[in-house]
Structure 1
Amino acid sequence: MAKDLWLPKGYELPDGSKVRSLLYSGDEWQIFDTNGSNNILLTRPELAQKWNEFGFLDESLFEDVAFGSESFRSLSSHKKYALTPVENGESPESKVDAMAFAFALKESRKLSEEASYHDSVYVEQYSRLLPGWTLTPHVDDEVVLGTWITGGVVISTESFRRLTNLTGWMPAGDLAEIINAAGFAVPADAGLLAKRKPASQSKSDAKIAITKESVEPEQPQSPGDTTEAKIFKLPGRPQLEEFFNEHVIDIIFNAEKYQALGIDFPSAIVLHGPPGCGKTFAVERLVEFIDWPSYSIDSNSVGSPYIHETSKKISEVFDTAIDGAPSVVVIDEMESFLTDRRSGSSSGLHHVEEVAEFLRRIPEAIKSKVLIIAMTNMIEMIDPAILRRGRFDHIIEVGMPSREEVSSLADSLLSKLPTSDDLNLDKILNALTGKALSDSAFVIREAARLAAKAGKTQLDQESIDTALNSLPKDTEKKGRRIGFVWDDE
């Protein structure tokens, strides 16, 4: 805040009120509290003229104020409305307040395509953000709105999931309405986000009534209107990519058309195949794409030698996932918990209890908007009751990648890097076909590291060959030992 007050305490304004204190200050403006019903925005004449030229506020709303040799322009605003710098960092007190700001941002943007509103003064009474045109970097409107809603956290409204976590006073549905009112898109899965307590309406009924008359936000658009189609990409796995898009992504991000026909949420999925086939990689990419909280169930996280303890931990994971829904539960190495209860390898009542816990919780979690994905290397060992329709509707086999799939992944990875003309793609594919896709990703990443270390500006064949040679041979993988060789001679 500036040390120099443009007007002293007790200064009488044109409306007869007197200055009490300085509230906020910028380079070319100051905001004062008065002993009357209004606060005032005092500005340099040049800035007020610029606002008038762009159509932000009519010149008739300003009055001349002089003190000593200085001349200013003043704008009065009733105290029941916000008159504050956007950079002030105070979050709105209600949905109505946030909606009013969103509308003001949208209307102000219509008046200037170039102005940045991060350094503006918010005049709620006239639904305007008055830019300061300071010599600071431009800030996107989505960031301006997100920062305002959170009370100073620099965040874009595009980060909807994080924004909902930062605005616990507002339900996700209300937040989506506010973002729509500003003219911005919201993710199509916004309706699935966990409900929060309604915002407290701390403003007076009079203010709410006035705001509703002056601010009529647009109705939220359907997901198809507000967002571009969500397409999940899984280079190297076109069939798995297609499955995830059809049976998971489309149902999540186009929920309304599916719910109209009784499909509320994606069914649970099992991916099975040999070690190294890419199950984990595919699931990690899917979870990253959906951007929901994910929770893992595996032998390391929930396994316990104590009776009842494992089933208790399993239940706790499901409880946490349901509380944070929409979310994802990933069950890794499901054969550790869900082997056939009739087989001789199961461990009696202790094992039966764990299977029963899964049987009980999986349908409950799906109804609560928890996406469940399980993985196993030994599908034949899984209890048939678990694999029955209604729990895991989709049992997907993931084999070792074909040459075409390795080629697809390699093309995707290489397209993001500067490469030399001597790359022999056939040689790369010959070496990597039949190996895990993670090996392909490792080779290209390692080759890039080696090229950078050697001071090269492009990825070349020599670096690729060196990286390929660093992969263990199949015989080495099967027979490698760590220890000492004892020689009797």
Structure 2
Amino acid sequence: MSIEAWLPIGHELHDGTRCGKPLYGGHGWQIVTTAGGGRALLANEALHSKWVTSRIIDDSALKPLLFGSATFHALSSAPSKMLAPINECRSPNNKAEALSFALALKATRETDAESPLQDAIYVEPISRLLPTYTITSRVDDDVLLGFWLTGGARVSAKAGRRLSQMLSWMGSSNLTEVVSASGVMTLAKMAQDDAEQADLLQTEIADPIPRSSGDRGIDSDARFSLPGRPMLEEFFNEHIIDIVRNEERYAALGVGFPSAVALHGPPGCGKTFAVEQLVEFLGWPSFQIDASSVASPYIHETSKKIAEIFDKAMRSAPSVLIIDEMESFLADREAGSGGSHHRVEEVAEFLRRIPEAGKNHVLVVGMTNRIEMIDSAIMRRGRFDHVIEVPPATEEEVSALLDKLLSDLPKDSGVDQATLAKRLAGRPLSDVAFVVREGARLSARAGKLKINQAFLLSALDSAPSRADQGQSRRIGFV
């Protein structure tokens, strides 16, 4: 969607830089390019006044700029400094960038403890997150920090163990410093958690026999819920949750720990979201094998890394081990490519490790878009006992997801979910989430306090199926 520029290209700002085309925009603000690869933030009088009144910035941080009868406030940023909406920022390349964001979050919260920041603008030159006051359900600051650090994963910065696994390049001590600097978690609490994890590790070393799932038990009254996927929800409850919850009863009848599960279906059908929800419900440590974490051009190195991750998962049992894009490692060995001999070694490692993991209280979950490419030996029962297709969502499933997404948002009584569900049926569930978010953004941009049907339909019209368009969509909170 094109953005109508407030200022003509080449218009001179207060510091002599000249405006380029607009990159991002919302109700009351725009970010434009400037000569030399920099950017500039423009805010109208109303939004700037909110920032100043809330004391997030002082009146001199953005310089006034007259254009015709309108008054804007502008701030320029060098190419080396970030200036973008949070959901458009790239993840940090180093500790210094991560620390800068953490300090900006803390500085913002010291003067404004209430405003939602998931749609804020990160302005690194003044070390602030400037809220845009859009109509979205609030995201906690710890999740916001985790989202930004990981480049889009909805993981809490308080989940130290999981975050450390995802940001292994930073190192645990540096990550601790960053999280502490943000103010989302005190050093005392972090030290307590570190001590508890150290005690846990000592226990595991002294007694290498995996603890029962009950040692990290789940609420005996809670039922796992997966809006938009009732059949997958039922499968997880019956074949995983109930077995974990009633381990002794199942063991008495010869039924052991839940066996490995493989989910397959087209991109965007909700496989990853379903697994993330399951991991969160179980509350177990999770480990992931994907191309970015284990692939190596060196002989035997990929197999070695695979083995190391399985070993870590078993030491942390009960735990979940996720194999993403299974076809990258487990493609049919008979296909016979130039590197097939490495593939044989990798597949053999998985063949040995998957049954071993189950016996050691590690739930293995695989995901793939290309089930037909997977080696038949991997798909036999005894490795992946359950191979579940996750097809595009039906109208009823889309309606259930819309119920959840819209339940916490202010909306007009005229919002007709049935019409939306009918048009979104068969589309990726990620499209459903995008339409709700875009409808909320359009409503906020128009100055509305509630989402209405017209804006939701407009969002739907502007979001044709990615399969048809080949267009990319930006990441964002829902």
Q: TM-score range by the shorter chain?
A: 0.5 to 0.7
State the SS of the aligned residue for 1:271: strand
How far does the alpha carbon of each residue in 1:449-468 deviate from its partner, in whole angstroms, 9 at most, with x for none? Answer: 33334443222113312322
Q: Is the 8 A contact 1:296 1:330 kept in 2?
A: yes
Amino acid in structure 1 at the alignment position of 2:385: D
Matched, 1:291 2:286: no
Which of residues 267, 277, 281 is equivalent to 1:275?
267
1:333 corresponding residue in structure 2: 325
Aligned counterparts of 1:477 and 1:345: Cα–Cα separation in 2? 32
How far does the alpha carbon of each residue in 1:279-320 deviate from its partner, in whole angstroms, 9 at most, with x for none? Answer: 111111111111111111111111111211111111111111
State the SS of the aligned residue for 1:471: coil
Amino acid in structure 1 at the alignment position of 2:387: I
Q: Is the 8 A contact 2:438 2:459 kept in 1?
A: yes
1:375 corresponding residue in structure 2: 367
State the SS of the aligned residue for 2:335: coil
Q: Is the 8 A contact 2:216 2:284 kept in 1?
A: no
Aligned counterparts of 2:346 and 2:274: Cα–Cα separation in 1? 27
Aligned counterparts of 2:465 and 2:202: Cα–Cα separation in 1? 56
State the SS of the aligned residue for 1:283: helix
How far does the alpha carbon of each residue in 1:398-457 deviate from its partner, in whole angstroms, 9 at most, with x for none? Answer: 111111111111112222222101212233123311110111112112322333344432
Matched, 1:465 2:462: no
Tell me the CA shift for residue 166 of structure 1.
6.9
Which of residues 433, 441, 454 is equivalent to 2:433?
441
State the SS of the aligned residue for 1:239: helix
How far does the alpha carbon of each residue in 1:371-417 deviate from its partner, in whole angstroms, 9 at most, with x for none? Answer: 10001111121111111111110011111111111111111222222
Which of residues 156, 165, 172 is equivalent to 2:197?
165
The 1:476/1:271 distance shift into structure 2, 3 A limit, reads: closer
The 1:394/1:416 distance shift into structure 2, 3 A limit, reads: same
The 1:471/1:386 distance shift into structure 2, 3 A limit, reads: same
Amino acid in structure 1 at the alignment position of 2:438: E
Tell me the CA shift for residue 191 of structure 1.
2.4
Which of residues 309, 315, 325 is equivalent to 2:307?
315
Q: Is the 8 A contact 2:427 2:465 kept in 1?
A: no
Amino acid in structure 2 at the alignment position of 1:334: M
Which of residues 374, 387, 396 is equivalent to 1:404?
396
Q: Percent identity?
A: 55
Amino acid in structure 1 at the alignment position of 2:369: N
Aligned counterparts of 2:439 and 2:418: Cα–Cα separation in 1? 16
Task: Give runs of aligned pairs for residues 77-226 of structure 1, distance below 5 A.
Answer: 164-165=196-197, 168=200, 189-191=213-215
Aligned counterparts of 1:382 and 1:346: Cα–Cα separation in 2? 18
Q: Is the 8 A contact 1:230 1:250 kept in 2?
A: no
| Structure 1 runs (4+) greater than 3 angstroms displaced | 152-155, 161-164, 166-172, 452-455, 472-476
Q: Which moved further from structure 2: 463-472 or 293-302? A: 463-472
Aligned counterparts of 1:166 and 1:445: Cα–Cα separation in 2? 41
Larger radius of gyration between Structure 1 and Structure 2? 1
Which of residues 295, 301, 323 is equivalent to 1:303?
295
Which of residues 369, 382, 386 is equivalent to 1:390?
382
Aligned counterparts of 1:170 and 1:420: Cα–Cα separation in 2? 56
Aligned counterparts of 2:365 and 2:308: Cα–Cα separation in 1? 17
Count of matched residue positions in the alignment of Structure 1 and Structure 2: 278
Tell me the CA shift for residue 363 of structure 1.
1.2
How far does the alpha carbon of each residue in 1:343-366 deviate from its partner, in whole angstroms, 9 at most, with x for none? Answer: 234732111000011011111111
2:227 corresponding residue in structure 1: 235
Matched, 1:428 2:420: yes
The 1:379/1:298 distance shift into structure 2, 3 A limit, reads: same
1:196 corresponding residue in structure 2: none
The 1:397/1:260 distance shift into structure 2, 3 A limit, reads: same
State the SS of the aligned residue for 2:334: coil
Q: Is the 8 A contact 1:230 1:249 kept in 2?
A: no
Matched, 1:248 2:268: no
Structure 1 unmatched ranges of 5 or more: 1-151, 173-187, 194-222, 481-489
Aligned counterparts of 2:202 and 2:324: Cα–Cα separation in 1? 35
The 1:475/1:392 distance shift into structure 2, 3 A limit, reads: closer
